[in-house]
Amino acid sequence: MKKSHTSLNIILILADDLGYGDLGCYGGLDLETPNIDALADGGLKFTDFHSNAPVCSPTRAAVMTGRYQQRSGIEGVITAKSHRNRGLGKDQTTIAQILKQVGYATAIYGKWHLGYHPRYNPCNFGFDEFRGFVSGNIDYHSHIDQVGEADWWSNRNLKSELGYTTDLITQYGLYFIENNVDTPFFLYLAHECPHYPYQGRKDPADRSIGNPYPIHGRRQNKKEAYKEMMEAMDEGVGAIVAKVKELGLASQTVFFFCSDNGPVSPGLTGGLRGQKGTIWEGGHRVPAIACCPSIIPSGCVTSQTATTLDLFPTFSHLAQAEVSVELDGINLWPLMVGGSALPDRSLFWRFKNQSCIRQGDWKFIDDGQLFNLADDLAESTDIVNQYPARAEDLEAELSQWNRNVSKGIERQT
């Protein structure tokens, strides 16, 4: 079946806590991920791609707005226990709203994590459809959040539904594609995998209403559970790709796969320093793959530096949509299709009491440490004493950025 429109469909697949060293196409040996690896073989693999935070909510805010998360007041995790009245402000423009304005059907299936109160529901931010959860994680079977409350939604309504979370996300994604064959669409598959609780398809539910414990799940062999969870997500990715091909949409559909931050054990960083929750490379350097047969050359690898900030301007470019808000990200499409060099720029990360700046291969941390990632990707040797002038310049730029973005923190509502 061929579709009548000429706009490119966009499928964003965001894994949760997936490490840089977890996928086979990134050298991972512990897990088999043939379908995700096939996306890399058929498209462009990034080796220097980053989430905009080492934790989930801030990165998701950056994905949705194309702006540093601090500008929208989402500095840290919006927790189920302490932040049920906080979320993405109405003054923020999302990529879903931009795409919807130019005729795209829009849907998110899976994890939102940008506000619990109904006023923060994704259907209020440009999504036509939402099936999934608004918290940081839920039981994969009972869909109970980490404070013991039910958290599975059908658009704006809390709705109980049977099924393994990963499979439900895939199932709804398949339905959405089938129902939008003749309409350009933006499909956001926000997987919970491989975030805890560590539960495979055959495991029983661990959480119930009023009883969220144990938070990480009862499964003793968490490494084995992690493997099963990843296999389920990989199978889901394969099913989505197969459906796109079956409906004759492959050459009109852009896939982008990445993670919202680095891993925790048993996830792997691929030898990078740090993990989720840190501003070391292991906390925010993540796998990223772009694929669109006949448009994005297959089997390519890029070492150019990009972040989740860049998805908004890239997707809006694909939709030929005008954007009036000021963005912090840049359009990656020239890189994706032709290998064009990205413009020189400084990039920034801040979480809790630490911040850092990246400029080319140089990375400066606000505690005074300086690294050159071209020579020292593991961030093992502080070279600030060798390059004091470089460190001073980077420190000044980082301080200025911190002052500028801090203006958004108090605006969170």
Burial of 396 (0-12, 13-18, 19+ CB in 10 A): exposed
d(CA 284, CA 259) in angstroms, rounded, equals: 9
Closest-CA residue to 335 (of 293, 374, 373, 305):
305
Let me know: does 141 contact 164? Beta carbons within 8 Å: yes
Task: Round to whole Å and give the CA distance between 404 and 412.
Answer: 16
Element (H, E) at 354: strand 354-359
Among 336, 353, 365, 359, smallest CA distance to 273 is for 365
What are 13's strand-pairing partners?
189, 257
Residue of 5, 25, 50, 56 with catalytic role = 56
Secondary structure class of 74 (helix, strand, coil): coil
CA angle 277, 117, 93 (to 5 degrees): 75
Structure tokens at 178: 């089938």
Q: Is 56 a catalytic residue?
A: yes
Residue 263, φ and ψ in degrees, nearest 5 = -95, 170
- Read off the amino acid at residue 219: R
Out of 5, 50, 83, 113, the active site residue is: 113
Q: Where would I find the beta strands (DSSP E) of 144-184?
A: 153-154, 157-158
Q: Which tokens sit at 6?
A: 């000429």
Question: Which strand ranges, in their side-by-side order, compose the sheet holding 300-302?
Answer: 157-158, 153-154, 129-133, 105-111, 185-190, 9-15, 253-259, 288-291, 44-46, 300-302
Catalytic positions, please? 56, 113
